[in-house]
Amino acid sequence: MADTGTIPVRRPRDHSSPDPADHGSVMPEIVTRARVEHIMGMPISIHVRGRAADVERALPATEAVFDHLRLVDRVFSTYRDDSDLMRLRAGQAEHGTHPWLREVVELCLDAEHRTDGLFTAWLPSAGVEHRREFDPTGLVKGWGVQGAAEHLSGLSGVAYAINAAGDVVMGLGRDASGVARPWRIGIEDPRDPTRVATVVERVTGGVATSGARARGAHVIDPRTGHGIAREGSATIDGPSLLWADVWATAAFVDPARVARLLPARDPEYRLTRCD
């Protein structure tokens, strides 16, 4: 789906009405613009907030975000046989693989260690019994979106947020304190996707939610190898979307254990459960 247009229509709530005595003075209007594209079968929304001129200047950089995610898809897609990941799995990596693959393997090992094995990228093979396959999909999304967001961090005077199918990364460009306010992230009610169960506020960092609603049993319990059929969802927010995403997956597998582990291992991250 192509760019769906960029007409600013919304003023932020903190843009207070000018004082009557101040009426007529030039007060730069803060606007937010959004772009949406569908990559890897997911809707990716980029919101950029700032003064109109700064937002205008920032918009071309949003294309680099989408390009970055398209490359992530080419390297890690499990739906295309010619991705680096699938060539590696098929033993056809003699011409080399993208350096990202090595980086992601190491992060997956780190994630498994950090979560006491509640997160793993070595999942039971669909075809062969008692065999595990390397499938880093559960980490690649958060890692990829966080990496893509870096293309916006050098922009001047804007705040930005990217939502990739329910996982959100937020950041500030340079000299952006004037437009910094928390983004309000509604946590979807797992029982009714048209409702918000609670709200998490952050200026920067990441918010990730793991649950069974949208795709059925897509989270595997590494301890049993079976999908988790339970209702509800687990949300983690913290300084990085990559680790928020990993912890959210682990928290959906074993919420009580993550509630104990998280303060000890990653105290900057916070668990929010919806049942």
Partner 1 sequence: MRKIALWTTSTLAALGVLFGYSTSTGHTKDSLLAASVTATSTTSPSETSSGTRSSSGGGSSSSSSSPSSSSASSGTSGTYTGDAVMTQFGNVQVQITVKDGKVVTADAIQVPDQNGRDQAINAVAVPQLNAAAVQAQSANIDMISGASYTSQGYISSLQSALDQAHL
Binding site for partner 1 (CB under 8 A): 1-11, 13-17, 32-34, 36, 38, 41-43, 45, 47, 141, 161, 163, 165-168, 183-188, 190, 193-196, 199-200, 207-215, 218, 233, 235
Return the number of the residue (30 or 261) whose C-beta is nearest partner 1: 30
- Say how far residue 140 (Cα) sits from the centre of its chain: 10
Q: Greatest CA separation found in the chain?
A: 76
Return the number of the residue (87 or 241) whose C-beta is nearest partner 1: 241
Question: Cα–Cα distance between 38 and 179 in angstroms, integer?
Answer: 28
Rounded to a whole number of angstroms, the minimum distance from the CB of residue 8 to partner 1 is: 7
Place of tokens 């509604």: 186
Tokens at residue 272, please?
Answer: 């929010």
Amino acid code (one letter) for 200:
V
Rounded to a whole number of angstroms, the minimum distance from the CB of residue 160 to partner 1 is: 11
Rounded to a whole number of angstroms, the minimum distance from the CB of residue 196 to partner 1 is: 6
Rounded to a whole number of angstroms, the minimum distance from the CB of residue 111 to partner 1 is: 17
Return the number of the residue (101 or 200) whose C-beta is nearest partner 1: 200
Residues 208 and 236: beta-carbon distance below 8 Å: yes
- Buried-state track 163-188, b at ≥16 Cβ within 10 A, e below 16: bbbbbbbbbbbeebeebeeebebebb
Return the number of the residue (173 or 211) whose C-beta is nearest partner 1: 211
Residues 114 and 246: beta-carbon distance below 8 Å: yes
Rounded to a whole number of angstroms, the minimum distance from the CB of residue 98 to partner 1 is: 24
DSSP 8-state assignment for residue 156: B
Return the number of the residue (8 or 117) whose C-beta is nearest partner 1: 8
